[in-house]
Structure 1
Amino acid sequence: MNTGILRLWGAWDTIYQRCTRLRYIEKGNNIFRIVLLRYRGEPLVTADNRIIQTGDLILKLHIHNYYFATLCQGVTDDLRVVLLLRRHILKSLPQLAAYLSTMEEVDQIKGIVGTTMLHKGVEPLGFSISDVPMSWFFHYKRWYLRLMVRLIHPEGKDRVQRWDQIMPLKRVYMSKEELFRRYLSNELEPAGGTDS
């Protein structure tokens, strides 16, 4: 990526962070930013058969695209970008689980939910996948994510054109219990119980 574009993006990301409710899990060391909110949408059945439904408290996941773009500087191979993303997600999920376990609202939070085009290969990590309704918001979200791919990916423009058909926008989600079971260190205990 062009260094000037990356610098401008970094300035915009700082402004964006200050204008939103997004929280860092661990700034500069975690690929996720999160926001605590009430879920709005169709019921989601998780891999461990729990249900997230409208009104439930969730952590909305956002990949920190600017941070990931800085990690991808100088990487030109498609496979290396994918492996880099997967490695940082695997590194970030235990930190996310530990963060959630210490939140005051831990007993009320039902799970984690994100929206992404990069959903292939997430099911072995504990996530479930579902379609999103293509409302105006999700049309905007898809446009934004396509722009991010163009900026981050070494074959950005060509990759976006190929992904239009094979990489639709999807929801990815996991129950709090499954997150804790898979990623919370045995030495750490949730602040409250994990039963819903």
Structure 2
Amino acid sequence: MRLYILSAWSILDPLYYSFTRLQYLKTKEQPTIFRVRLTRYKGREVVLSDGTMIKKNDVLVKIHLHNVQLLKELLTVNNDLRKSMILYKRVKESLPHLASYVYQHKDADEIKGIIGITLLNKGCTRLGFEIFTILSPAYNRFKQLALFPIYFISTTKRSTKEQKIPSPNYLFMSKKSLLEKYGNI
């Protein structure tokens, strides 16, 4: 079943990519796990630990994991802990390229930080992300349903009855933190 879903997703992914205005981070090495786009923030005001205040209409880089690529890498791994370690490593390897993208972007002065939404937030704080809950119950449920296929394919649990599907969270990192921590490519 998981292989069929992944195959269908592989076919639909190029369509999704074209409609979402996402772009790949260009590198000379292996492709990064991120696809990105600029966005204007529409959520509640957030103050990050370094004092950066994210307000409505601030420019952020929205990050999306390239799920098809990642899930293909994880397809043969039968241990959730090992999968988490691979994901952590791939994100960590991609963050310096994201820092370079932000630093070199023509709108770099406007960019205040990066944002993502994920069900998988273990290890995110070690990478420098700050986790915030999604307050809107409707948006939370929408994102939970939208991210369910990723969760279903990525977990080794054979039944959702075995484990409750986690709630999604916002991940933020200020531009300052990103460049200080990962800006030395």
Same fold (TM over 0.5): yes
Identify the match of residue 151 of structure 1 among 150, 153, 160: 153
- Per-residue CA distance 1:123-147 (angstroms, 9 max, x = gap): 1211111111235343221112122
Q: Where in structure 2 are the equivalents of 1:1-196 lying within 5 Å?
A: 2-26=2-26, 29-155=31-157, 157-158=159-160, 162-164=163-165, 167-185=166-184
Listed one character per residue, the Cα deviations across residues 146-184 of structure 1 (whole Å, up to 9, x for unaligned) are 2211012222534x85243xx322111010010000001
Please tell me whether the aligned partners of residues 132 and 170 of structure 1 are also in contact (alpha carbons under 8 angstroms).
Answer: yes
> Which 5+ residue runs of structure 2 have no aligned equivalent?
none
Q: What TM-score comes out, normalization by structure 1 length?
A: 0.85
* Cα distance in structure 2, aligned partners of 1:75 and 1:120: 18
Structure 1 residue runs without a partner (length 5+): 189-196
Question: Which residue number in structure 2 is paired with residue 193 of structure 1?
Answer: none
Distance verdict in 2 for CA 1:156–1:141, change over 3 Å:
farther
Q: Letter of the 2:32 partner, please give it.
A: N
Contact 2:118/2:170 (CA < 8 Å) preserved in 1? yes
Q: TM-score, normalising length from structure 2? A: 0.90
Aligned-partner Cα distance in 2 for 1:156–1:149? 11
Q: How many residues align?
A: 183
Q: CA deviation at 1:6?
A: 2.4
**Identity among equivalent pairs (%):** 31
* Moved segments of 4+, more than 3 Å: 1-5, 135-138
